[in-house]
Chain A
Amino acid sequence: MRLALREALLAFRRAPLLSVLSVTTIAVSLFAFGLFGLVAVNLRSALQRVEERVEVRAFLAEGTPADAAAAAIADILVFPEVATAEYVTPERALARARTELGEFEDVFEAGVLPGSIELRLREGQRAPATVAAVARRLRTFPFVDDVRYGAEWVEKLYRLRTIATVAGLALGAAFAAVAVIIIGTTIRMTVLARAREISLMRLVGATDGFIRLPFLLEGLAKGVLGGGLALGLLYIATRVISAQLIEVTFFDPPLAAGGVLAGALLGFVGSAVSVGRQLRRV
């Protein structure tokens, strides 16, 4: 094991440029992956916040009696998606508008604003399709004039999240493939440089596993370095974006550790797939 570690370290010194290149491509691969991962993570929390506010508002026809609205609310509360439902009288709507719009308060006359029923949906029932379905059902009440909800917003956020996920996966995978190729090339050069040593090892009875071990450790080390580098760059990126654009959150520790682990795996697998083939050449 000590010998294998020494060999693995030696390999870095033998081909420093290629080693740096492997580490860098692993880092770039995970950085690309992680950047879109961050977008996804942040969109997700944004979505959660928006979703909590997802509110469906059913505007009632002028002159709808309060007890009709109350009966409707009782019906609506039976919907499985609905968390709360509340009747907002035209007077309250006006008062609310006045406080919200301060200086324009004179614009509003009593009776201009319709009464409405405001309802919130339960968690997990806020996907665009669900919201739309609830809205459709509300429209079937005869005294409901119009139903409004943040449909476009919700749909856009959902679509962004999907795009971020797919783009991250595709770009990350492309760079990962490049990383694997570069790792393979490095191993090939190392095997060639050490052909003599490797054939001697075989001659004196070293096992294949023993001969392979330094290459696998080398791959693992490069992966960990690449993963760490990617994580550092991502952290810097989040700080910069937070300072310059909008507040964004970083990965939580388990996800961050998962990133480094992914790097380690990438490096290890990259080595494992090529070392056998390369060793057969000497």
Chain B
Amino acid sequence: MIRYTSVHKEYPRTGVALTGVSLAIGKGEFVFLTGPSGAGKSTFLKLLFFEERPTRGEVKIGPVSSATARTRDVVDLRRRLGIVFQDFRLLEDRTAEQNVAFALEVIGTPQGAIPARVARALAQVGLAGKGHALPRELSGGEQQRVAIARALVNDPFVLIADEPTGNLDDRATRGIFDLLRAINASGTAVIMATHNMELIRRNPYRTLELNRGQLVFDSADTPGDGEGT
């Protein structure tokens, strides 16, 4: 479903961020992505939703390949992905409901279909009663739930989370992680970048480790470039 083939990514000013990364991720998998700061985790994820394109090699996700994707393909792909960040990225002047609805409105979903889907997504993340709250009226964990609801509202086949618990305390972290697990259990693949080693140790999911742009560890030991250090 997702395949990286000899992926090399070089930024104009900062140089090599990823090099020689090859791996495959199956349908409905849960994957941890870890490694020290600057290892290339965010870059790895950005390649997945085509915020960046590889300098060499190929990233393939679903039917879309970095080698051939046109603007319209990227747009279509993103409508089938859910993306979550460490800093939530909610719009401050909109309520939780409006933030979730935003993801539907801007892709031209018929107005009539929106409220029901928003309510369902908010219920799914356990925020059924807080739809009218503004982001600043919510806790960090709740804000992240709103962001996850926004990512879920389009029924994505992959949920991409870049350090979704990076700003949260242990309790909120567990809550968000349980939520991601539940989402995964319903069939959505989840790829989650995290520094939280305890989370990784306690949960027997596939783990990828990056270091200085190289894939140095893959618990599934997928074919391709493996042990570096």
Contacts and interface: CB of A to CB of B under 8 A. Distances in A.
Interface of A: 2-3, 196-197, 200-208, 210-211
A201 B106 contact: yes
B75 interface: yes
A205 B107 contact: yes
Contacts of A203: 49, 51, 78, 83
Given A201-B106, A204-B150, A207-B72, 19 more contacts: A2-B111, A196-B89, A196-B91, A197-B91, A200-B89, A203-B51, A203-B83, A204-B107, A204-B154, A205-B76, A205-B77, A205-B78, A205-B79, A205-B80, A205-B106, A205-B107, A206-B106, A208-B71, A210-B106
B91 A205 contact: no
Contacts of A196: 89, 91
Contacts of A3: 105-106
B102 A207 contact: no
Nearest to A208: B71
The list of the 4 closest CB pairs from A to B, nearest first, reads A205-B79, A205-B78, A206-B106, A204-B103
A202 to B, nearest CB: 8
Nearest to B89: A200
Nearest to B105: A3
Contact of B102 (A2, A200, A208, A211): A200
12 contacts: A3-B105, A197-B91, A200-B102, A203-B49, A203-B78, A204-B107, A204-B150, A205-B154, A206-B106, A206-B107, A207-B75, A210-B108
Interface in B98-132: 102-103, 105-108, 111
A211 B105 CA distance: 12
Nearest to B153: A204
Contacts of B106: 3, 201, 204-206, 210-211
Given A2-B111, A210-B108, A204 B78 contact: yes
Interface of B: 49, 51, 71-72, 75-80, 83, 89, 91, 102-103, 105-108, 111, 150, 154
Contact of A205 (B51, B75, B150): B75
Nearest to A206: B106
A3 B49 CA distance: 25
A195 to B, nearest CB: 11
A152 B103 CA distance: 72
A14 to B, nearest CB: 11
Interface centre among A2, A200, A203, A207 (most CB of B within 10 A): A203
A182 B154 CA distance: 39
B80 to A, nearest CB: 8
A209 B154 CA distance: 20
Contacts of A204: 78-79, 83, 102-103, 106-107, 150, 154
A2 B49 CA distance: 28
A205 B77 CA distance: 7
B143 to A, nearest CB: 14
Nearest to B83: A203
A147 B160 CA distance: 93
